[in-house]
Structure 1
Amino acid sequence: MCGRFSQSMTREDYLALLSEEAERDIPYDPKPIGRFNVAPGTKVLLLSERDEQLHLDPVIWGYAPGWWGKPPLINARVETAATSRMFKPLWLHGRAIVFADGWFEWKKDGEGKQPYFIYRTDGQPIFMAAIGSKPFERGDDTEGFLILTTAAGKNLTDIHVRQPLVLSPEAARVWMQQDISGMEAEMIVEDGSVSAEHFTWHAVSRAVGNVKNQGSELIKSVSN
């Protein structure tokens, strides 16, 4: 699953891997985003395509349509999202990307649960596939977005059985294109996901469990 992640670099650090400046309608901002502990229920910078250009909007992380009557969902299984009653419209028309440095998972140990930070071995940003309720630019607190999850790769199952669906930069850019059909999106997932051997992890402070904590120390390695 994915319940927390880090989005701390500058916008350009992420965007430079996806597109040329001419393909974006996103103001330049050299300031680091600086969110080392992004939690559900908060607004997150979500990347999507409109009019063949990339746009970046603050969108609530969570999805609960009016008929749902339960707490908002934050993840959707990629295995069923394309065909489910609840998620199919989002799969067809609301594909987006959440860029990040890495994500957090918790594993039970003798003292409770130990958090781990999982990230690319080469240090590159990750691009998590998301689906949500458009228009993303409306900026209100209604239906937002979910991060797609998939079965964890072989080496990542030591930490958790699920993981966010991470796409290569090339696949992420195509995933957001509005003229891509639902079936084509399924092919992108199959061919463009980043395999588990590209990731590593280390134990981090239990302070990440408190959403009020946001410092860079939260992603630093600690002894467990």
Structure 2
Amino acid sequence: MNRNGELCCQHVRWGWSPVWSMGTRPPLTHLPLEIVMRSKVFDRMRSTGRAVVAMDGWFDFSLDNTSSGAGRFTYKRPRGGDPTYLAALAQVSESPSGCNGLVLVTYGGGGASGPLQLLALDRDSAMRWLDPSLDWQQALELASRNSDADQTFETVAVRQRFNVRR
């Protein structure tokens, strides 16, 4: 996180509960980039709560294109072995609060733009994401620059298949 111009590391639980949804909904784990950057609801978090999560890979789940309801896990990791940073927003209070938490930022999804994806960034883009002055157009540029998942990440299939119960 960027605190008063200084980068800091902070322990935060995954999942964020806005004060207006406490007790009525489970914590949010993902938020679309467009909503994060354009909604007034996120003004404060956008300016003081930008965060990145350093990681070397993540598991993803997708349903098969059959009516069986089966799905599979895959593991995505950077091709070059360099660390990757997931864009996030975090609310961290001086005194512990039920609202404190971290939510990952996604982009894409719907129609021809393909599935919803985590906003995974290289080091330079992660530093840019942490800049509180980053605006909507610049955020779109970051997403498009880092969106070529086929070139940047390799997908490793996980052997076990899972049936999803609805």
Same fold (TM > 0.5) = yes
Cα 1:99–1:141 shift into 2, 3 Å: farther
Q: Which residue of structure 2 lines up, in the alignment, with residue 215 of structure 1?
A: none
CA contact (8 A) 1:99 1:126 kept: yes
Q: Which residue of structure 2 lines up, in the alignment, with residue 213 of structure 1?
A: none
Q: Which amino acid letter does the alignment assign opposite residue 142 of structure 1?
A: C
- Quick check: 1:88 aligned with 2:43? yes
Gap runs ≥5 in structure 2: 162-166
- Quick check: 1:119 aligned with 2:40? no
Where do 1:144-155 residues align within 5 Å? Answer: 144-151=101-108
Cα 1:141–1:125 shift into 2, 3 Å: farther
Q: Which amino acid letter does the alignment assign opposite residue 174 of structure 1?
A: R
Q: Which residue of structure 2 lines up, in the alignment, with residue 211 of structure 1?
A: none
Q: Which residue of structure 2 lines up, in the alignment, with residue 190 of structure 1?
A: 141
Q: Which residue of structure 1 lines up, in the alignment, with residue 91 of structure 2?
A: 133
Cα 1:66–1:139 shift into 2, 3 Å: closer
TM-score (structure 1 length as normaliser): 0.58
Q: How many residues align?
A: 150
Where do 1:45-124 residues align within 5 Å? Answer: 48-68=1-21, 69-109=24-64, 112-124=70-82
Gap runs ≥5 in structure 1: 1-47, 208-224
Q: Which amino acid letter does the alignment assign opposite residue 76 of structure 1?
A: L
TM-score (structure 2 length as normaliser): 0.76
**Structure 1: distance between partners of 2:62 and 2:142:** 29
Shift of 1:129: 0.7
Which protein has greater RCO, CA pairs closer than 8 Å, 6+ apart?
Answer: 2
Q: Which residue of structure 2 lines up, in the alignment, with residue 181 of structure 1?
A: 133
Runs of 4+ in 1 over 6 A off after TM superposition: none
Residues 137-183 of structure 1: per-residue CA shift (max 9 Å, x gap): 6565532111000126xxxx5xxx11111122112113223xx3252
